[in-house]
Structure 1
């Protein structure tokens, strides 16, 4: 075709001319085929791709604009939320019928913008929306951040203008969804075009939530500074209120951990006021030194009494779940807690009535958890939340010997046995330091079972620090698996020999009750919680504790069964918790006391170079459980809980087997009254034999026998003298001993053989141990740095 076209084109030319043209064309075509211009091809494709991308970009812009235009045109500004002033959150007990309380009647007093001074207006715009007077009601950067969060699958949050915040409060729900966010953008844009900015700011300042149940600037001034008139608010007060409204829970001045972030945000607000000329540089320098002193309005009586601690815990848990301050206080939530109304009455009665005669500055914390569910069914944190917000059921403290069961679990995981034998005599040398039993008492060679029953410190030191490699760290692993929080204090003691005696503030009664509930539930751990379900208006953000993760086998079921066996021995005759037998049903548990130097004695101790180290009892515990309930009671003294407990008891020390156990019984007896008696699962007899000290009996029909022989360690040579038997019987812990602590028990020339049926028999001649404020290795007694002063009661 090309030759034909060429021929017709060149007919009029001569033969030579035509031949030259053909030749030139042929050579050109050959060259083109032989040496294509690859660079030009690449450039061509790059331009084509760039063109497509540019086209798609413009199509996206056009599509987004069209979508926004359509959305804008089809979205009407609705009527303000009629329920805004009545959306009170109601909290119920576990029965979903009995009202526990409410979160804030909405305290809101409207004030015309003309009565709100410019300093207050500028403080709020400096804090929340510095382009308020000029922006179109929405923030492009905030929209971009919202889109980015959507792409990452996160909740929509942050970046909202004052107009958007006002729209969300007055016209929309509090749910964070894609649809709600873009509806908010359309309404905010439309409202900004149709409504004067001053009117929007006035509505915002009269509806925004400032915390403390206060909606609007007038209520906020009254709540924080007892000043309802905005015209009388100072510049620092206005800046503080603008600080907390950003996130009243995060910037809660009642939280010690919030103080620094409040100060930083407060300075940010002041700096914004300086930039727009509201205050001078000199004023900024003066005001930014510290936040203004608060003069808070008295809390609502709905928080009065012990139930205030329940409401406070529920509020904090709602925050952890993901509800923000205005949702909690004014979102109209229906909150069902795990608290049992009847059990809560029993807890309050136990915490207020079954107490020593001397009660001044004596504090009781009680927590009860349902095993296998993590439900906190009852809690006593103090007599009146309005008088003191210190919750003695949630404040962490030194657990003392209540930490020993985790050492038992760790030992069993290492294939050691309850019938292996350890040093019960006092003292024992650990890392070059002598450590003692309570009153320096000797017990001879004892099994781990007996050491648990009588809480013998030296045997546990022998177990954890001599017979187990990295024993303290494995003890921590077992505690964390059971449910003790992985705190800095606990992690820091992975190498501390005294960790087994709980020398530092590792856990609260709530956390300890839940950890022991893991043993009661055959090793199943469920995070402790106080919220069962949350229902929101419209159901857009409902929540249920069915989402709480259950960890089956957190503690091996067989190990849990053997720990239960050992802790049941604690409640048998001559165990440190023998009074728990009054419950008349299978009970397991552990006593614990932690010694140190009380706050009132620390100045004197410093002057005498530590002469009072370990002399005071700072905490006293009883943590006991049945298959139905795990309940922990803690006693503390002094305004901060660091006082000496010993003056409150006639015992030699304030032992866990005395008043804490009595208070525990006062709760558990009515709590379990009429309930079926349940047994703990028995350990597998075969697993009980898995020990190097087991030898089968020669008698074909007799029970297996265990010959306990203490395994020597490189740091502890075998005893050169015959092993000792326990000391002669002494009165129970509530009665002073008939012998002085310095008297040594008589020695026995031979070691008895222990016969083990399904459950080992108790030894009626073995006296209860009496604790040990022993000075274990650490940084100093009573200082919370690993002093090792846990007693063995």
Structure 2
């Protein structure tokens, strides 16, 4: 064979090989084989998905998705504070207007009410983009976004997206569309730290979700696409254009779906949101109000764990105007006059006050201290200081209620005459008990009315023995006081009591003997509880009306002619009582008009020795939180109830009553100054009545000092451990020293946490 023949043979063989090769490729990639492969892959995917569907269960809700804040409101609905790690208040669709609900569907998923809960195309696109590294992609249904928010997390992984798909299908079958929509609206993040529509409505429009307009709802729905970029307060010009475009998109979709009338749509203007406001925290008085509300909720059977879990909307009885009036009165009358650099004792001054509506028992104002962030113990509810002579009306009430008589058989009334000699031994009582009067002053024969006006210790110590200490104890308990002993020193207010306690006592007297337990909580609601918590502050008749009214009549004399004359005013009718413990450790004024009961306490509490070194009344350096004397505080010399506490009371009452009131006490009694002043056997031309004329204004010079009670021993407060937040253990009752206060259960009482 020649070379030409060989070449042709080789070429022919190559052609045949090429022909055979092309045929092989066609056989491998034939349409049948391609379809078969795709079918097989589809079958594998389907089997895999079925397996995944059977394997993946709907998990429990993610912890963060369930977290809510507690919202505290003033009586008028204005938000006072929010607490909790997450600013969220879950609300039902009944608190979201129908057209506002539709804005979210129009923005995110127009087919929501018809689909099976998933968008397979969108999910596939998301999976491909995730695998290829193109980042987060949209396209999910409302159900899928709800599942991601409520059950899963925001991770962009293939496994999370597959789980989202499966769980969404199951959730759509198990839950109604309304439940899913509500869950989505409540779990989504809207910017400004707000989770859920209720928090968002407050953050952007300062209103509750049930008051949102369709235009406002459309803006909140638009926010979900880009919360920070679309926030009008911080958005760039481009961001504002995008936000408006998204808002228009939402509304146009609503018209398209026949959820919004085209005419109404054309008339809508873009609702520019409010500027951001700082979160409602617990500084100033807010913390004291929140703590008092929480404590009362626990007293109503709500556990601390339930409160901390969040989700509560707690409306207080606190009147915003009266609260501000009380805060301003304390500041202008007391704290503005303190100078801790000039007077060390000024660093020890603590003030607390509670104001109550006597007809309803509502706590309309409360002052717990200068700042909750600085001093965690509420001076309004603490029980580690003696109420002093503010307890004396309770003794008189017990005497009248029990038809008690003196040692010589005379009925005890306002005009009953006692021996007012200082330090005289009490007859018929505990042997050796002989308390002195203020300055050891002797009053001789004196009526009960005048003894109340001038706070004469010897008279009320004897009256306690005449009534019987067991009966006095019972009356005090009936009026709501805690852990009252039968020791004779109790007649001079040697027990521990809070301004809240004493406000309840005096409100009951003002309410004609019908029991008042002051309530700071108006109503507390939680979406997971069938019933609201609504305390009932008005109780049963615990004193006869004549008893309560007679004590009120007698205490009018204290204001008109006695130690409480600093609060006397032609602008209102008032009754009340001063109280001061020995060594000026505490000072009080408890008083009321026909419309308002207010108790003000002033307490000496040793600060950190690094701030000011002070001594205990009994001698020795005071440790932080020890009781110390207030003498000299505010440049006022001795501190008495007739001083700062009375001035605060008068300034607040004038403000709270809008400058005054024509209301008068409706008294069913024939005794006391409120009816007709009884004769005073000690009066003479040479000895004019004491104290001086009533002050015409709250800032007038003080009247004569009221009488302090049995000397108070300073409390021995254990030194708190060195921690970030020191704790305080209140003093316990000392059987050897009945004047020392004892702690007890509180309604409501702030946990003993002190300055740090």
Q: TM-score, normalised by structure 1?
A: 0.50
Secondary structure of 1:90's match? strand
Q: Deviations over 1:575-628 (max 9, x none)?
A: 000111136211000000111xxxxxxxxxxxxxxxxxxxx2111000011111
Aligned to 1:657: 642
Distance 2:564 2:677 in 1: 27
Distance 1:88 1:783 in 2: 36
Aligned to 1:102: 82
Secondary structure of 2:516's match? coil
* 2:503 equivalent to 1:524: no
Count of matched residue positions in the alignment of Structure 1 and Structure 2: 442
Secondary structure of 1:302's match? coil
Aligned ranges 1:205-224 → 2 under 5 Å: none
Distance 1:107 1:566 in 2: 52
Q: Deviations over 1:411-439 (max 9, x none)?
A: 11132211111111222113224321111
Aligned to 1:682: 667
User: Are the counterparts in 2 of residues 558 and 683 from structure 1 also a CA contact under 8 Å?
Assistant: yes
| Shift in alpha-carbon separation, 1:706–1:622, aligned structure 2, 3 A | closer
* 2:548 equivalent to 1:560: yes
User: Are the counterparts in 2 of residues 435 and 776 from structure 1 also a CA contact under 8 Å?
Assistant: no
User: Are the counterparts in 1 of residues 389 and 709 from structure 2 also a CA contact under 8 Å?
Assistant: no
Aligned to 1:93: 74
Secondary structure of 2:422's match? coil
Q: Deviations over 1:509-562 (max 9, x none)?
A: 1111121000111111132221111222265242223xx263232111110110
User: Are the counterparts in 2 of residues 90 and 335 from structure 1 also a CA contact under 8 Å?
Assistant: yes
Aligned ranges 1:355-370 → 2 under 5 Å: 355=334, 356-358=337-339, 359-370=346-357
Distance 2:554 2:379 in 1: 28
| Shift in alpha-carbon separation, 1:726–1:456, aligned structure 2, 3 A | farther
* 2:582 equivalent to 1:619: no
* 2:560 equivalent to 1:572: yes
Distance 1:331 1:708 in 2: 61
1:679 deviates by 1.1
RMSD: 4.1
User: Are the counterparts in 2 of residues 567 and 589 from structure 1 also a CA contact under 8 Å?
Assistant: yes
User: Are the counterparts in 1 of residues 352 and 378 from structure 2 also a CA contact under 8 Å?
Assistant: yes
1:308 deviates by 1.2
Secondary structure of 1:504's match? coil
* 2:470 equivalent to 1:473: yes
Aligned to 1:336: 315
Aligned ranges 1:231-242 → 2 under 5 Å: none
1:504 deviates by 2.8
Aligned to 1:509: 499
Aligned ranges 1:643-654 → 2 under 5 Å: 643-648=628-633, 653-654=638-639
Distance 2:688 2:365 in 1: 38
Aligned to 2:367: 380
Distance 2:502 2:347 in 1: 26
Distance 2:388 2:597 in 1: 18
Secondary structure of 1:391's match? coil
Distance 2:489 2:325 in 1: 36
Aligned to 1:728: 687
| Shift in alpha-carbon separation, 1:100–1:437, aligned structure 2, 3 A | same
Aligned ranges 1:142-153 → 2 under 5 Å: none
Aligned to 2:205: none
Secondary structure of 1:529's match? coil
Which runs of 5 or more residues in structure 1 are unaligned?
1-72, 109-168, 172-189, 192-206, 208-299, 596-615, 690-702, 710-722, 736-766
Distance 2:294 2:690 in 1: 47
1:316 deviates by 2.4
1:661 deviates by 0.3
Q: Deviations over 1:760-785 (max 9, x none)?
A: xxxxxxx95642455599999x9974
User: Are the counterparts in 1 of residues 580 and 706 from structure 2 also a CA contact under 8 Å?
Assistant: no
1:707 deviates by 8.3
Q: Deviations over 1:648-696 (max 9, x none)?
A: 16666311011110011121111011564211122333x889xxxxxxx
1:357 deviates by 3.6
* 2:384 equivalent to 1:417: no
Distance 1:787 1:649 in 2: 31
Aligned to 2:193: none
Distance 1:539 1:593 in 2: 46
Aligned to 2:389: 401
| Shift in alpha-carbon separation, 1:301–1:576, aligned structure 2, 3 A | same
Aligned ranges 1:420-569 → 2 under 5 Å: 420-430=416-426, 431-465=431-465, 467-468=466-467, 471-484=468-481, 486-487=482-483, 490=484, 493-494=485-486, 496-505=487-496, 507-537=497-527, 540-545=530-535, 548=536, 550-569=538-557
Distance 1:394 1:777 in 2: 21
Q: Deviations over 1:72-121 (max 9, x none)?
A: x9xx958837993563221111112x00111213299xxxxxxxxxxxxx
Distance 2:599 2:546 in 1: 24
1:314 deviates by 1.7
Distance 1:726 1:704 in 2: 21
User: Are the counterparts in 2 of residues 428 and 435 from structure 1 also a CA contact under 8 Å?
Assistant: yes
| Shift in alpha-carbon separation, 1:630–1:726, aligned structure 2, 3 A | farther
Q: Deviations over 1:736-792 (max 9, x none)?
A: xxxxxxxxxxxxxxxxxxxxxxxxxxxxxxx95642455599999x997455599xx
User: Are the counterparts in 1 of residues 414 and 448 from structure 2 also a CA contact under 8 Å?
Assistant: yes
| Shift in alpha-carbon separation, 1:337–1:672, aligned structure 2, 3 A | same
Distance 1:726 1:392 in 2: 45
* 2:656 equivalent to 1:671: yes
Aligned to 1:771: 707
Distance 1:576 1:568 in 2: 11
1:348 deviates by 1.2
Aligned to 2:289: 310
Q: Deviations over 1:214-247 (max 9, x none)?
A: xxxxxxxxxxxxxxxxxxxxxxxxxxxxxxxxxx
User: Are the counterparts in 2 of residues 306 and 384 from structure 1 also a CA contact under 8 Å?
Assistant: yes
Q: Deviations over 1:294-343 (max 9, x none)?
A: xxxxxx98111121111122222223323344542444222111111111
Aligned to 2:326: 347
Distance 2:84 2:692 in 1: 48
Secondary structure of 1:522's match? coil
Secondary structure of 1:533's match? strand
Distance 1:549 1:367 in 2: 15
| Shift in alpha-carbon separation, 1:549–1:661, aligned structure 2, 3 A | closer
Distance 2:692 2:368 in 1: 27
| Shift in alpha-carbon separation, 1:777–1:558, aligned structure 2, 3 A | farther
Q: TM-score, normalised by structure 2?
A: 0.53
Secondary structure of 1:435's match? coil
| Shift in alpha-carbon separation, 1:645–1:302, aligned structure 2, 3 A | same
Aligned to 2:728: none
Secondary structure of 2:584's match? strand
Distance 1:707 1:777 in 2: 37
Q: Deviations over 1:355-396 (max 9, x none)?
A: 144432211101111113221111111121111201111111
Distance 1:368 1:566 in 2: 21
Secondary structure of 2:547's match? helix
| Shift in alpha-carbon separation, 1:733–1:386, aligned structure 2, 3 A | farther
Secondary structure of 1:632's match? strand
